[in-house]
Structure 1
Amino acid sequence: MLTKTVKISNVTNLSDARYCAGMGVEMLGFSIDEDSPNYISPKKFEDICSWLAGVTLVAETGKTDPEAILTALAEYPVHAVQVNDPGLLNYLRAEVGLPLLLRISVDIYEADEIAPILSRYESEVTHFLLESDKEAEISEAWMQTLTAVEADYPVLVGFGLDNEFTVSALTELLPNIGIALRGSEEIRPGYKDFGAMMDILEALEEQ
């Protein structure tokens, strides 16, 4: 079992899904946006998830149209929904009745802007996911922010995680945070080099 809450985003293949579920990853995320390079069709989602048990399946969407999200969700029997727009939270909570995650891009917000966001939406989500599309590093300012909020809010850190050594150091300094990693493509069907993901998850295993 893993010592931290871990979410794997952008899962696109059965190899990732089965390996991560077997390692004790708590959440697997699947993009339901057709224009996303990581999009998973309802049929492929069904095929992958038929092999899984005991893991929370998260629909990931960057859409801002609530009706479009509801239409897409109707084809995915997930356990939770992740959105980028906090303005959707109240609506989705009423309409979907599933746990919600809020993805916050650290490429858009400065470190000192995060705490007010967490405070404002704490009652509406189960987790906050901090991610970067530009390979942002965890600066001193970010470390100060994470240190200040990690005991009070359910934060998943998904940036600045270069390898198992940085993850081990981070989780030792911040014992309450969770970790968010991203899936990757198979080299060919059924064959996968897990590389850094394997090293990081093994570093998070209970000794």
Structure 2
Amino acid sequence: MKLIRMVKVGNITNLSDARYCAGMGVDMLGFTTIEKQPGYVGPETFQEFRGWFNGPSVVAEVYGLPDGETLHEIMRNYLPDFVELGIAELPFVDLPSLALIVSTRGMQSAEKFLQQLATIHNQVAFILAEEEVEASDLKSISDHYPVLLQLTKPVDEHVLALPVKGFALKGNTEEKPGLKSYENLATVLEYLTKD
């Protein structure tokens, strides 16, 4: 099974989501790595998950990052392929080798957002665009960086026509271990499946 666009599923909190997404060909799995943030997955739990899925790149979601030392700990404990963060967390990025996914969360304008990224331009792998970003801003950003569009609604031909590299989805909680609904994820992933 092959997806026609790149897909990142973030906020993974359970092994069921991680394995389901890996099996569906998702490119990246994101885990909340900051304590006290909703959906936090500690290093030990993450390592348990990591032994059960293969294929997708790992994204450390660091929204709410308090300092640079915490980022260094996350890098040691999770060994992520990418670090996802917002503009508020950028001052704590002091590792020039980090591949970043920067969210438009809190963006005032595309012009100002792009200026804020100027000093780390070479580290930005993707921009995670919130779904409510204006089409003109999305176009401006996609002229400079590959964009993953955060989806909360089903995909349609209009969404596929947008100037984006791929899409970002969110995992959801399990009712109890092994019992959960994949309806939201399945709807989008099946739409993006290439036979």
**TM interval, short-chain normalised:** 0.7 to 0.9
User: Where do 5+ consecutive residues of structure 1 fail to align?
Assistant: none
User: Where do 5+ consecutive residues of structure 2 fail to align?
Assistant: none
Partner of 1:201: 189
Partners of 1:42 and 1:153 in 2: CA distance: 30
1:170 maps to 2:145: no
CA contact (8 A) 1:32 1:41 kept: yes
Relative to structure 1, the CA distance from residue 98 to residue 147 in structure 2 (aligned partners, 3 Å threshold; closer, same or farther) is closer
State the SS of the aligned residue for 1:53.
coil
1:128 maps to 2:140: no
Using structure 1 for the length normalisation, give the TM-score: 0.81
Relative to structure 1, the CA distance from residue 118 to residue 147 in structure 2 (aligned partners, 3 Å threshold; closer, same or farther) is farther
Give CA deviations for 1:32-63 in whole Å, capped at 9, x if unaligned. 11111210011110111111111101111120
Alignment of 1:34-49 (within 5 A): 34-49=35-50
Alignment of 1:45-194 (within 5 A): 45-62=46-63, 63-84=65-86, 85-89=89-93, 91-93=94-96, 97-105=97-105, 108-113=106-111, 116-117=114-115, 120=118, 121-131=120-130, 137=132, 142-159=134-151, 161-165=152-156, 168-171=157-160, 173-194=161-182
Give CA deviations for 1:143-176 in whole Å, capped at 9, x if unaligned. 12223443541111115x31133xx4212x2254
Give CA deviations for 1:122-161 in whole Å, capped at 9, x if unaligned. 3221111123xxxx645xxx112223443541111115x3
Give CA deviations for 1:2-44 in whole Å, capped at 9, x if unaligned. 1111111110011111111111111101111111121001111
Equivalent pairs, count: 190
Pairwise CA distance, 1:113: 4.0
State the SS of the aligned residue for 2:58.
strand
Using structure 2 for the length normalisation, give the TM-score: 0.86
Pairwise CA distance, 1:79: 2.1
Pairwise CA distance, 1:117: 4.2
Partners of 2:116 and 2:149 in 1: CA distance: 13
% identity of equivalent residues: 33
Partners of 1:184 and 1:111 in 2: CA distance: 30
Relative to structure 1, the CA distance from residue 54 to residue 27 in structure 2 (aligned partners, 3 Å threshold; closer, same or farther) is same
Pairwise CA distance, 1:119: 6.1
Partners of 1:56 and 1:75 in 2: CA distance: 15
Pairwise CA distance, 1:115: 5.8
Partners of 1:43 and 1:157 in 2: CA distance: 30
Given residue 74 of structure 1, which amino acid in structure 2 is its aligned partner? R
